[in-house]
Structure 1
């Protein structure tokens, strides 16, 4: 068992309390911070945080580079390594101001934990990411099984994620009362729904077609009619498992409570694509698909602004920067078209601006 230094544990706990109460960060961020500090503390093998110097920082960076993912066996990604280093750097910046530590630690030494620019640029890169096309989305919804209540819930979940462009963590915390069927929209109340940074906004359904909308409408009606769900009940309830006639654990229906974590929703999402013979896309790729759909519907700057705002983005550039990359083949095709077409005329330029 790895040695732990009692002073390290005390100062780590104090820092986490400061992060939560003084900086107001979320529990998920607190967990990431705690994991990064614990990883470093374990590597120290009982040594005090005060014994921090440039060579120790460099040695820890080399240690991180040699670690492998426990599940896949692959080297840690640049995002994981850089995230760990950023959390540690912030911790030592804070330590440099604390009594009993500021005489031992300086921010200049903590800067040795800065990720190298090459890997940081790679992490921030906005290269095109494989994601399902709008037609593929419509295909899997049309072909997903719907014979049982669990299958209908799963089908509605996948359709809902695309219609609203919501993150799975937010979707599983929604209640029936947050969905406004009369206006085809959803109210993401940051006080009740697990939205990013606790933001509150309203999202109207994206134009994926009647099949996806009908799927969600029918699911809401089934919850209210057959299961007597009210406005305060979860939109996507967790699975009820019990001992069946065969004296084995079986799926027996749904509970009147939401999933505790988004992992089950992510698994359902990936399985839907795998069952259709497509790559098991992550729910994170939903926003890339929605950004691709924008090209079929948006014509003016106002269109793009409304589309971006509907995703919960305050700045339309966030949408383009994070999810608006052009596929390499399409990029080459467009560049060839530019060469063949020549320069825009003044009239064409004014039409685009308008």
Structure 2
């Protein structure tokens, strides 16, 4: 079985042995072999833990080694594509010429056959190792691996990114298991940023002044432009919020109870300082007319192109996020009832939320594209459990067997489809821009409170406040345009309105002062109306 180990661990996370085994689909002995050949566990007593960035460093180094600089006991496994030490019982030496030998064995990680040519010196070393049953990692003269963290008096090997806090962070990960994976990653990014700011200092040594120093640095970052490494107001607020929540939890853990009880409160941000933070650029999203131009400009010659066009149309029809859109199946969309289902059991849905979506009232062209794409798949034998937007390799061959066609593993196809669609407009829209567009469309179409609530729920939001706060915000250009088009409000007093009513009902005596005043008011209003017509 091929083991290339091209999976990237999440750099900020901490993994225990069982999590490493699950991530790479390996056994416990393989983890031990990795530790023996250079993988550095996090320091401390107790079960071994591994930081994600250390796992990535280890595998990148192994792949880079290739055939060069192989040690005497190392072989290049063509299945794993990395240098490995074979199983000792499988090692066998055969003489091919008078002064050369062939070493044969089995990879200790995937079991594949490995071999390499030896000269007389290396042959003697391997033969001696076989005779004495010595460890292959120790037969090199002057090239032995650093000692592994095993035993009681072994020296500590720090990882590439040393941390004194990996064990408590792993405990927090267990506590944060109730959150969505992306939420946990965002919190970990903030925690690691704080840790890096103090060069890996143990969290148990954090003082009030340290938090104040970090908060000051955050605010200074907010005053810098993004090109110079500055942070947006949203980034600063999230960093402070994440760290306040973490230190509030940390203060209740064993070994950290000596931290100041009010430490987390020092992450509160001053309003006056936050007002100086540079505002983020307006989020770019298309109008519904631009969205229509996008799908009309997309090529439709190949099935892959028609799939990409259906992906873009589906985003505006359903309002689904890229992750959910890429994992839709045929059963999740009903072209007769004009509904779609976000089913967290089968789809990558944010916060594990499931709900039914009524197709949004976008132009019929969007609906037609989605309907024709589903019909095209159905005509080729696709069934309800098959992917609505499958990988291209499943589009050019007939479906065989009863196993459902799998959904996309990543959002890359969805992102690429939107990039192609927006090329004709000379802009770059992300899949999430479709949700902003739909929110802006709802602002125009919804006139009653219940309509706005229904529109918000159809986007998957529990509150209209969430929709209004985070989606389809009015840009500065639109704001200035709207304000510039407003006219001065009507300043007619109640007495003048009553006088006008009497005039139009012929209740005033011609030639009287009241009649003349009413005539002047009428002429002013007629002149104002004439100006509007000319504009």
Task: Confirm or deny a common fold (TM above 0.5).
Answer: yes
- Cα distance per residue 1:168-199 (max 9 Å; x no partner): 11111221111111111101123332223222
Alpha-carbon distance in 2 for matches of 1:343, 1:106: 60
1:215-294 to 2 correspondences below 5 Å: 215-226=369-380, 228-240=381-393, 256-274=405-423, 276-294=424-442
Aligned length: 326
Pair 1:49-2:49 in alignment: no
Provide the C-alpha distance between the structure 2 equivalents of 1:29 and 1:236, rounded to a whole number of angstroms: 27
Distance 1:198 1:131 in 2: 26
Q: If you compute each CA radius of gyration, which structure gives the higher value, 1 or 2? A: 2
The equivalent of 1:342 in structure 2 is 490
Residues 303 and 254 of structure 1: is their aligned pair in 2 closer, same or farther, counting only changes over 3 Å?
Answer: farther
C-alpha displacement of 1:99: 1.7
Residue matched to 2:453 = 305
Cα distance change, pair 269–135 in 1 and its aligned pair in 2 (3 A): same
Answer yes or no: is 1:86 the counterpart of 2:241: yes
Written as runs of structure 1 = structure 2, the 5 A alignment for 1:64-103 is: 74-103=229-258
Q: 1:72 and 1:330 mapped to 2: Cα distance?
A: 26
Summarize deviations over 1:244-271 as a string: whole Å, max 9, x none. Answer: xxxxxxx978993222222442232133
The answer on whether the counterparts of 1:238 and 1:258 sit within 8 Å (CA) in structure 2 is yes
- 89 and 159 in structure 1: CA distance in 2 versus 1, 3 angstrom threshold: same
In structure 2, the residue matched to 1:19 is 176
Decide whether aligned partners of structure 1 residues 78 and 296 sit closer, same or farther in structure 2, where only a CA change above 3 A counts: closer
Counterpart in the other structure of 2:345 = 191
2:142 aligned residue: none
Q: Compared with structure 1, are the counterparts of its residues 336 and 232 closer, same or farther at alpha carbon in structure 2 (3 Å cutoff)?
A: same
Tell me how far 1:128 sits from its aligned partner.
6.0
| Unaligned segments of structure 2, at least 5 residues | 1-159, 400-404, 493-535
- Structural RMSD (CA): 3.4
Task: Indicate which of 140, 165, 172 corresponds to 2:319.
Answer: 165
| 1:347 alignment counterpart | none
2:88 maps to none
Residues 13 and 169 of structure 1: is their aligned pair in 2 closer, same or farther, counting only changes over 3 Å?
Answer: same
Contact 1:158 1:269 in 2 (8 A): yes
Counterparts of 2:470 and 2:264, CA distance in 1: 30
Deviations 1:301-322 (A, max 9, x none): 3332322222122323333333
- Structure with greater proportional helix content: 1
Partner of 2:161: 2
Gaps of 5+ in 1: 242-250, 345-354
- The aligned counterpart of 2:360 is 206
Question: Matched residue of 2:193: which SS?
Answer: helix
How much has 1:335 moved relative to structure 2? 4.2
State the distance in 2 between where 1:177 and 1:63 align.
51
Alignment pair present for 1:117 and 2:274: no
- Tell me if structure 1 keeps the 8 A contact 2:298–2:309: yes
CA distance in 1, matches of 2:212, 2:341: 48
> Structure 1 residue 28 and structure 2 residue 182: aligned?
yes
Describe the SS at the equivalent of 2:406.
strand
Give SS of 1:28's match: helix
Q: Secondary structure at the match of 2:346?
A: coil
